[in-house]
Amino acid sequence: MTQTVLQSATAANRAAMSAMLAPSLANGSESETVAPSIPSIDHSRLDWQFDRTVDDTENISVGDTVTFEKVLSEEDVRAFAHVSGDTNRLHLDEEFASDTRFGERIVHGTLVSGLISAALARLPGLTIYLSQDLEFSGPVGIGDRVSARVEVVEDLGNRQYRLETVIRNEDDDATVINGEAVVLIDDLPEA
């Protein structure tokens, strides 16, 4: 069962990352990307923002944080539905969604939680997900700016760390996902 959960989480994270990268890859425009400031990231979109408190794998310690922020667009939702196969009408059909408890279409929860992967990708080194627990507490609307913050809360030894993971809807000033992750951080392979 653990392997199935891990495979599902990995697939969801890949789909989320694909959805986030799809618009810049599809149009091929160099003007919408910036050169990488972290070797493990090929390109970032200009409207993505991140901040981190540590730049070297040898210096990662309790209290270090990374925050990643972006707007979740209509294009992100459509791309995620296509890549993941999650075609729930709540995310894609305005008329249907207007009759739900939300009154409008909302972003896939797994797409929103995928921003945690984006934050983890900005840690120094090669970050490998080992586990993730999530609690969803509110929806994210299409076009909302969302931030994912990860904080190292425990050094588990052997380059493994337990992190607090929090996603906030910056437009509503509300926490929408709380959780905890365990990651392994390797050095980047030499080029």
CATH number for 106: 3.10.129.10
Classify 90 as helix, strand or coil.
helix
pLDDT for the residue 28 = 42
Provide the CB-side half-sphere exposure for 125 (13 A, CA): 17
Burial label for 37, CB within 10 Å (0-12, 13-18, 19+), is exposed
Residue 114 in domain: yes
Neighbour count for residue 106 (Cβ, 10 Å): 21
Tell me whether residue 57 is in a domain: no
Q: For residue 73, give its domain range.
A: 63-186
Render pLDDT for 142-163 as a digit per residue (tens, 0 to 9): 999 999 999 999 999 999 999 9
Q: What is the pLDDT of residues 69-102, one digit of tens each?
A: 999 999 999 999 999 999 999 999 999 999 999 9
pTM of the model: 0.77
Residue 17 domain flag: no
Q: Which residue has the higher pLDDT, 2 or 117?
A: 117
170 lies in some domain: yes
Contact 51, 44 (CB under 8 A): no
Residue 19, domain member (yes or no): no
Structure confidence at residue 20 as a pLDDT band (50, 70, 90): very low
pLDDT at 32 over 50: no
Question: Can you read off the two tokens belonging to residue 71?
Answer: 């707007």
Least confident window among 17-21, 56-60, 161-165: 17-21
Asked, for residue 8, whether it belongs to a domain, the answer is no
User: For the chain, how many structural domains are there in total?
Assistant: 1
